[in-house]
Amino acid sequence: MSKVSLIFFAFLCTIGFYGQNQNKTLVDGVFAVIGSHVIFYSDIDDQLMQYRNQGMIQENESEIQEKIVEDLFFQKLLLHFADVDSIEVDEVELQNSINQRIIFFEEQLGSKENVENYFDKTISDLTDELKPVIKNQTLIQKMQYEITKNIKVSPADVEQFYLEMSDSLPLISSQFQVAQILKIPEAANLAIEETLSKLEDLRNRIVKGADFATMAILYSEDPGSSRNGGAYYEVKKGKFVKEFESVAFSLGANELSEIFKTEYGYHIAELIERRGNELDIRHILMTPKVSNADLVSAKDFLDSLKIEIMNSSITFELAAKQFSSDKDTRYNGGLLINVASNTSFFSDAELDPVVLNEVNKLSIGDITQPIYIKLDNGKEAYRIIKLVGKIDEHIANLEDDYAFLKNYCFQMKTEKELKKWYKESISNVYVQTSEDLLKYNFYHNLFSDE
């Protein structure tokens, strides 16, 4: 199963677990009550069914069932103490998370219509079902943060951890250091003119009384805000690109902007409210469409540029500075940075599968043919990739894998702290059940002296 499919599967499990709880009564059969939070037998069965449907159960069903029960117990315990500690979820934060989740489903299933067909629900109904799911997930994350927020990892901790784990250090998969030159094709003038004409028409309709939020829902191409009437709330400086913020923070209350351009396309915006350095704003985004001919032109450009680099007419680093559309990498020779490890190396699981397939064919210093990419903002482009460096598969060591070992050490300390909290807290909450919980290894261990 692919990494993306596993993430999608996890989301489906949480919908089955949380979403179906909302309409259940005790008639369904209660497995356990932790504080005021209930685990139903059907919660366990639903998750088991999801595992079966994904082909993830072979001869290990009892083990998976115990793991499901353990996870549900821990989640309910965290929720109970989140209530006790009065931890809350901001409504704006919650709505943004729901929007991101819907966008994720659309990306996985192809369209809004496919999402509605898959779940047999309208987007509105799915949003209502997701709200308590995501609220509980956020409360769980916040509670875990409160438990582990004081964990620190020093260089001495990493060295000690390395020595203690010397006989069981993990195998590090091959690591790749890559640079890119990205070419995003420019839309033709005709496409830009068509977009500006449509946006100007929308602006005129709003000036004459049309509702901005309705126009945003119908026409905006920003998936992060369109279904919310184009609105973003509690916007502070630094959250959006500077061109957008320059306009947004210059508007008066209920003032409608002129058309303006950012790297995402063309916008109109309307200020809802401003509170000092924070504001609520609506916008409509429209992006000029790039034709197939524009894409082919970008690909041909990179083909020619690669030949010039291989002929030593220009270095890859200088070519990236002069021609790459990626402003985040063009001034460092096109070198990609792994935000997860804060290094320039990527494991094979972290690289895009298409890129991995191509760089596996390269020697250090070689460059791929142009590779198609669809960017996070929806734009299509091509890029050429240079293999800058490679570390072959090896046992983790301090010299090559310090960042990995530091993170691994942090995870181990976090897990240890959570287990300690779990063991201490389970005795401080009322657990009601007709089950013999001690038959579960995890529950028995909570009350052991180990």
DSSP string, 371-414: EEEE-TTS-EEEEEEEEEEEE-SEE--HHHHHHHHHHHHHHHHH
Residue 6: per-residue pLDDT? 43
Same-domain pairing of 257 and 298: no
Same-domain pairing of 242 and 320: no
Residue 277: per-residue pLDDT? 85
Q: Are 259 and 266 in contact (CB under 8 A)?
A: yes
Question: Tens digits of per-residue pLDDT, 310-332?
Answer: 999 999 999 999 999 998 999 99
Written as one string, the DSSP assignment of 227-256 is GGTTEEEEEETTSS-HHHHHHHTTPPTTPB
7-11, 124-128, 156-160, 396-400 — which is least confidently predicted?
7-11
Whether residue 120 lies inside any domain: the answer is yes
Q: How far out from the chain centre does Cα 410 lie?
A: 21
CA gap 20, 10 in Å, rounded: 15
Same-domain pairing of 305 and 278: no
Q: Are 156 and 164 in contact (CB under 8 A)?
A: no
Task: Pick the last residue of a domain from 286, 309, 339.
Answer: 286
Same-domain pairing of 56 and 140: yes
Whether residue 419 lies inside any domain: the answer is no
Whether residue 436 lies inside any domain: the answer is no
Residue 307: per-residue pLDDT? 97
CATH label of the domain that carries residue 10: 1.10.4030.10
What type of residue is 298? Answer: A
Whether residue 296 lies inside any domain: the answer is yes
Handedness of CA 57, 63, 67, 70 (dihedral sign): positive
Whether residue 402 lies inside any domain: the answer is no
Same-domain pairing of 237 and 382: no
CA gap 33, 40 in Å, rounded: 9
Same-domain pairing of 368 and 380: yes
Whether residue 94 lies inside any domain: the answer is yes
Question: Tens digits of per-residue pLDDT, 153-201?
Answer: 999 999 999 999 888 888 888 999 999 999 999 888 899 999 999 999 9
Both tokens assigned to 323: 């021609």
To the question of pTM greater than 0.75 for the whole model, the response is: no
Residue 10 pLDDT > 80, yes or no?
Answer: no
Task: Pick the last residue of a domain from 359, 374, 395.
Answer: 395
Residue 256: per-residue pLDDT? 96
Order of strands, edge to edge, in the sheet holding 431-432?
37-40, 30-34, 431-432
Question: Tens digits of per-residue pLDDT, 250-264?
Answer: 999 999 999 999 988
CA distances to 91, 216, 260 from 203, in Å: 30, 11, 12
Mean pLDDT confidence for 226-248: 89
Determine the structural domain holding residue 137 and report its residue range: 3-149
Both tokens assigned to 230: 């184009």
CA gap 295, 277 in Å, rounded: 40
Whether residue 19 lies inside any domain: the answer is yes
Same-domain pairing of 251 and 270: yes
Q: Which residue has the tokens 């009322």?
A: 430
Which residue has better confidence, 90 or 371?
371
Same-domain pairing of 272 and 213: yes
Mean pLDDT confidence for 134-161: 94
Same-domain pairing of 216 and 178: no
Residue 379: per-residue pLDDT? 82
Number of domains in the chain: 3
Task: Pick the last residue of a domain from 286, 308, 341.
Answer: 286
Whether residue 442 lies inside any domain: the answer is no
Same-domain pairing of 141 and 40: yes
Q: Which residue has the tokens 């063009």?
A: 330
Same-domain pairing of 102 and 132: yes
Q: Which residue has the tokens 């990626």?
A: 326
Handedness of CA 124, 125, 128, 129 (dihedral sign): negative
Same-domain pairing of 181 and 329: yes
CA gap 38, 72 in Å, rounded: 10
CB atoms within 10 A of CB 256: 14
Side-chain half-sphere of 381: how many Cα atoms within 13 Å? 18
60-64, 143-147, 213-217 — which is least confidently predicted?
60-64
